[in-house]
């Protein structure tokens, strides 16, 4: 099917957004690398940030849909917890670090991307269309990352400070000590099954239900 240049232009991600997003990533990556090290980019949220950079320049529905499936649910929870912390009533404590004066202010400021990235991803998928292959693609990527984190990355420790440990919670919910509810391997297997089932699947269903599918009228070409 031929798509006119006019209709494609109308659906393009604005150039100012591409430049602004690229500038932000160009600042964040070296700062995070210097303070946290390269392993920090194994966190799903940071990985999503980098995939989104490719998505906005390539205007790829698949690359926009993958991080949307992967992080919308936990990042919305981040937003709710952050607002709760602002009001003095944190929900789950996942944004407590944002209010820790021991953490440099510029690092906490950069971390605010957790709050606006999910809304940007919704916009991108709305513009480009939802690619149903995203669920399978992000799930495969997530499983691979979880395996790397479990097998090769540092476990929790009490003196971790700002060191990157327990990436993606593969050893439990605390960065200071592993969980003790069950054997470590059992916890990890629960993550391998639970994250796709409880986070990716509902998000996939919602996006497939409410977003324009790729290839429908008005969606960008793949």
Domains in the chain: how many in total?
A: 1
Mean pLDDT of 48-65: 97
Residue 215 inside a domain? The answer is no
Res. 1 pLDDT band, cuts 50 70 90: very low
- pLDDT band (50, 70, 90) for residue 4: very low
Q: Assess whether pLDDT exceeds 50 at residue 68.
A: yes
Residue 216's pLDDT band (cuts 50, 70, 90): low
- Residue 101 within a domain: yes
Rounded to the nearest 5°, which phi and psi values hold at 154?
-65, 140
Residue 199 lies in a domain: yes
Assess if residue 137 is contained within a domain. Answer: yes
Whether residue 58 is contained in a domain is answered as: yes
The fraction of the chain above a pLDDT of 70, given in percent, is: 91
**DSSP SS3 for 196:** helix
Which of 70, 79, 58 has the alpha carbon at shortest distance from 201? 70
Q: Is 221 inside a domain boundary?
A: no
* Range 38-53 average pLDDT: 96
Residue 85 has pLDDT above 50, yes or no: yes
Give the domain extent around 199.
5-210
Q: Which of helix, strand or coil describes residue 130?
A: strand
In a domain, 219, yes or no: no
Q: 0.85 cut: is pTM over it? A: yes
Provide the 10 A C-beta neighbour count for residue 220.
22
| Nearest one of 180, 136, 127 to 156, comparing CA atoms | 180
In a domain, 220, yes or no: no
Confidence at residue 195, expressed as pLDDT on a 0 to 100 scale: 95
According to DSSP, the residues that pair with 26 across neighbouring strands are none
Provide mean pLDDT across the span 34-55: 96
């Amino acid at each position: 099917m031929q798509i006119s240049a006019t209709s494609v232009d109308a659906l393009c991600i604005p150039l100012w957004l591409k430049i602004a997003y690229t500038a932000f990533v160009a600042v964040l990556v070296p700062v995070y690398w210097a303070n946290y090290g390269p392993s920090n980019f194994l966190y799903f949220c940071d990985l999503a940030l980098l995939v989104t950079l490719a998505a906005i320049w390539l205007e790829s529905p698949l690359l926009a849909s993958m991080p949307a499936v992967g992080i919308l649910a936990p990042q919305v929870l981040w937003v709710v917890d952050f607002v709760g912390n602002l009001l003095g009533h944190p929900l789950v404590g996942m944004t407590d670090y944002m209010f820790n004066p021991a953490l440099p202010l510029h690092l906490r400021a950069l971390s605010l991307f957790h709050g606006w990235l999910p809304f940007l991803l919704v916009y991108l998928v709305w513009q480009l269309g939802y690619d149903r292959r995203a669920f399978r693609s992000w799930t495969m990527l997530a499983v691979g990352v979880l395996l790397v984190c479990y097998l090769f990355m540092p476990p929790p420790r009490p003196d971790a400070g700002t060191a990157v440990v327990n990436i993606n919670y593969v050893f439990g919910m605390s960065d200071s000590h592993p969980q003790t509810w069950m054997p470590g391997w059992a916890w990890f297997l629960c993550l391998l099954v639970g994250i796709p089932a409880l986070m990716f699947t509902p998000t996939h269903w919602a996006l497939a239900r409410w977003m324009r599918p790729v290839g429908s009228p008005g969606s960008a070409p793949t």
